[in-house]
Structure 1
Amino acid sequence: FFNKSASHKVTHDLPLHKSSCEIYRISMCRGKELTEGQKGGIITAKKLGHTPSEISRVIGCSRSSVLRVLATHESQESPKQRTGRPRILNESERKKLKFSITKNKNTRRQTLSQIRLNFINNNINISTRTIRKELAKENIHSRIQRHKPLISEINKTKRLSWAIAHEHWTVEDFKNIVWSDESTYTQFRTSGFGHVFREPSEEFHEDCIAATVRRSAGRMFWGCFSWIGLGPLVPLVGRVTAVTHCEILRNYAIPTDNAPVHTAKKARSFLTSSNIELLPWPAQSPDLNPIENIWSFIEVKIRQHDTQPSSIVQLE
């Protein structure tokens, strides 16, 4: 098992075994550290069935050195027994946990305490911290649920048709559009944030969003912008009607959504008489209007102040 070299004098070349493998006696001084080649020869000879005494005679080292090499080799090959407390959930049970949480909208909205109670009822003592860690291994985390308008199937079809119809519009086409809309701001933030368990790719999964509906509160503002820049931000005091809308539009060329005041006969007549072409707009599609990004920016700026507006006048 060792190559003959100038640094080793071969003093014995009788095989220890009838196999084609041969172990040569290599002269060495007592107490000298074994080379890696000698250690490999000891291990191989042991696998061939030779005793430690036979190996020590041929290698030219003590029997205790042979035993030490063999013991070290066996300890490295043998897997170490895991220490500490055993895992509460194995991989199969962790998969079942993931399935039980992601079954539907209600199961995704459980708290960690509720999930833990289910384990306790099945005689499994587990902490909420462990549950969180086990879910993380399955890439499931508690995240704030996204808010999205509740859209009917009919309007989903209309939205898709609108997108396909404008798929090939160029930047030059969109330069001719003035984007407008209304948005309501309140003195204090009123919308809450709920948490759901989901994977990163499930941000807008049907079970992970909170449907929103339109409501009136605080002060409503009308605004617009185009490729050229920002338009005015107009506070709307009192009830907004078609007449109010026409007054706003008198100096601006605006495409509008399907709010009643926008689609009223009086508003459409005004747009026609002013040679303003109305961009067709699918219902329940505020996300298609880029002005929504400006409304969000304004909301963030309002909430970044150290003190919130103390009145509607201050909000304006």
Structure 2
Amino acid sequence: MKCHKTTVKRWLNRWTQTKDLSNLQKKGRSRVTTSEEDQMIVELVQEDMDEGITSEDIQQELRRQGTNISRSTIQNRLLEAGFKFSRPLSKPLLTQQHRRNRLIWAQSMQNYNWNKLIISNETTIRLHAVGKFFWQRPGERKVVRTVKYPLKVNVWGCLSNSGFGRIVCFQHNLTSDFLCNEIYQNALLPTARSHFGRRHDWVLLEDNDPKHRSRFSIQWKREHHITTLPWPSHSPDANPIENLWPLIKTKVSNQKPKTIKNLTRAIYKEWNDLPPELASKLVWSMKNRVHDLIESESEYILY
């Protein structure tokens, strides 16, 4: 076995003392920072959260306080504390009026019955869009060729607590006439009948797009007994269907469609393959969204 005598003695002594021959946990390298220094690093990030402090800035500030810690150690301590060095979320600027309206709306919706809601929205899905993530090494970045003006398909979709409704794909610009006489007539109303039967107490959630609020659209919905939920401006974070579109776009991109026809077919397939329980979870997230809006005093919420 080519085993040295001292090694044999060591294992025999260990067996005599502990009756345990399993590998012991190794101590590893000793920690180079104290708990107080770890706390200092975290506090510096929290104090300068709005300024975008870097590990180099933290290192310089610690040196001014008489503490010398490497940048890699600072980064490791921040990762341990749950921080991630990433881009900030880019959101439209909320005025005081926007925030006031959002807060008033959220307070009025605290006890709302989300079971009778149909949530709708539109998006654009482009051909050859880059919707995938890649594991990449430094200096070996994945290159994806893109087209400057790619062909695109506009998509309208809806969902309720009962599942996903119909979608409509179209290439031209959305108008009030097409919205009412094609989308509402052939997608929204059939979805309502499928999910709510002959009841007319369901409510439509849609944003404040001018086509939704035009005189033509308002009159059409009034004639067809469609009630809309009051909606505050600049509130995509409160609309759960906004979280669904990135998922659809990624799944469609994975199919690598080459033509508009294939792109449209992929959109319908991925939409129809969505599990109904996902729609229910998205609808019931409205309760948490309303709560978070109130807690944040109508600032943007992380949805």
Shorter-chain TM band? 0.5 to 0.7
| TM-score, with length taken from structure 2 | 0.53
Matched ranges for 1:72-87 at <5 A: 87=32
Determine the C-alpha separation between the residues in 2 that align with 1:131 and 1:156.
37
Q: 1:116–1:311: structure 2 CA closer, same or farther, 3 Å change rule?
A: farther
Q: In the alignment, is residue 165 of structure 1 matched against residue 165 of structure 2? A: no
Alignment partner for residue 264 of structure 1, among 214, 227, 234? Answer: 214
Deviation at 1:278, TM superposition (A): 1.8
The answer to which structure has the higher helix fraction is 2
Once the two structures are superposed, what CA deviation does each residue of 1:230-251 show, in whole Å capped at 9, x if it has no partner? 2222113122122221221124
Deviation at 1:265, TM superposition (A): 1.2
2:180 corresponds to which residue? 246
Deviation at 1:135, TM superposition (A): 3.3
User: Do 1:185 and 1:218's aligned partners in 2 also have CA atoms closer than 8 Å?
Assistant: yes
Residue type of the partner of 2:52?
Answer: R
User: Do 2:131 and 2:249's aligned partners in 1 also have CA atoms closer than 8 Å?
Assistant: no
Determine the C-alpha separation between the residues in 2 that align with 1:284 and 1:217.
28
Q: In the alignment, is residue 155 of structure 1 matched against residue 98 of structure 2? A: yes
Q: 1:86–1:144: structure 2 CA closer, same or farther, 3 Å change rule?
A: closer
Determine the C-alpha separation between the residues in 1 that align with 2:151 and 2:98.
26
Determine the C-alpha separation between the residues in 1 that align with 2:175 and 2:70.
57
Q: Secondary structure of 2:116's match? A: coil
Determine the C-alpha separation between the residues in 2 that align with 1:226 and 1:132.
44
Determine the C-alpha separation between the residues in 2 that align with 1:260 and 1:180.
15
Residue type of the partner of 2:122?
Answer: E
Matched ranges for 1:276-295 at <5 A: 276-295=226-245
Determine the C-alpha separation between the residues in 1 that align with 2:91 and 2:84.
22
Q: 1:105–1:189: structure 2 CA closer, same or farther, 3 Å change rule?
A: farther
Comparing 216-225 with 90-99, greater Cα deviation is found at 90-99
Residue type of the partner of 1:234?
Answer: V
2:299 corresponds to which residue? none
Q: 1:311–1:118: structure 2 CA closer, same or farther, 3 Å change rule?
A: farther
Matched ranges for 1:191-210 at <5 A: none
Number of aligned residue pairs: give it: 202
Find the structure with the greater CA-based Rg: 1
Alignment partner for residue 178 of structure 1, among 99, 118, 126? Answer: 118
Structure 2 portions without partners, runs of 5+: 1-28, 134-149, 190-203, 265-303
2:46 corresponds to which residue? 102
Q: Secondary structure of 1:231's match? A: strand
User: Do 2:132 and 2:250's aligned partners in 1 also have CA atoms closer than 8 Å?
Assistant: no
Residue type of the partner of 1:131?
Answer: I
Q: In the alignment, is residue 141 of structure 1 matched against residue 83 of structure 2? A: yes
Alignment partner for residue 188 of structure 1, among 118, 129, 135? Answer: 129
User: Do 1:102 and 1:108's aligned partners in 2 also have CA atoms closer than 8 Å?
Assistant: no
2:263 corresponds to which residue? 315
Determine the C-alpha separation between the residues in 2 that align with 1:109 and 1:315.
42
Comparing 222-231 with 256-265, greater Cα deviation is found at 222-231
Q: 1:157–1:120: structure 2 CA closer, same or farther, 3 Å change rule?
A: same
Q: 1:217–1:108: structure 2 CA closer, same or farther, 3 Å change rule?
A: farther
Determine the C-alpha separation between the residues in 2 that align with 1:140 and 1:228.
37
Deviation at 1:180, TM superposition (A): 0.9
Structure 1 portions without partners, runs of 5+: 1-83, 193-215
| TM-score, with length taken from structure 1 | 0.51
Determine the C-alpha separation between the residues in 1 that align with 2:159 and 2:40.
51
Identity %: 24
1:199 corresponds to which residue? none
User: Do 1:188 and 1:308's aligned partners in 2 also have CA atoms closer than 8 Å?
Assistant: no
Q: 1:109–1:118: structure 2 CA closer, same or farther, 3 Å change rule?
A: closer
Across the aligned residues of Structure 1 and Structure 2, the Cα RMSD in angstroms comes to 3.8
User: Do 2:101 and 2:232's aligned partners in 1 also have CA atoms closer than 8 Å?
Assistant: yes
Determine the C-alpha separation between the residues in 2 that align with 1:266 and 1:182.
19
1:5 corresponds to which residue? none
Larger RCO, structure (CA 8 Å, separation 6 or more): 2
Q: Secondary structure of 2:121's match? A: strand
Determine the C-alpha separation between the residues in 1 that align with 2:90 and 2:210.
21
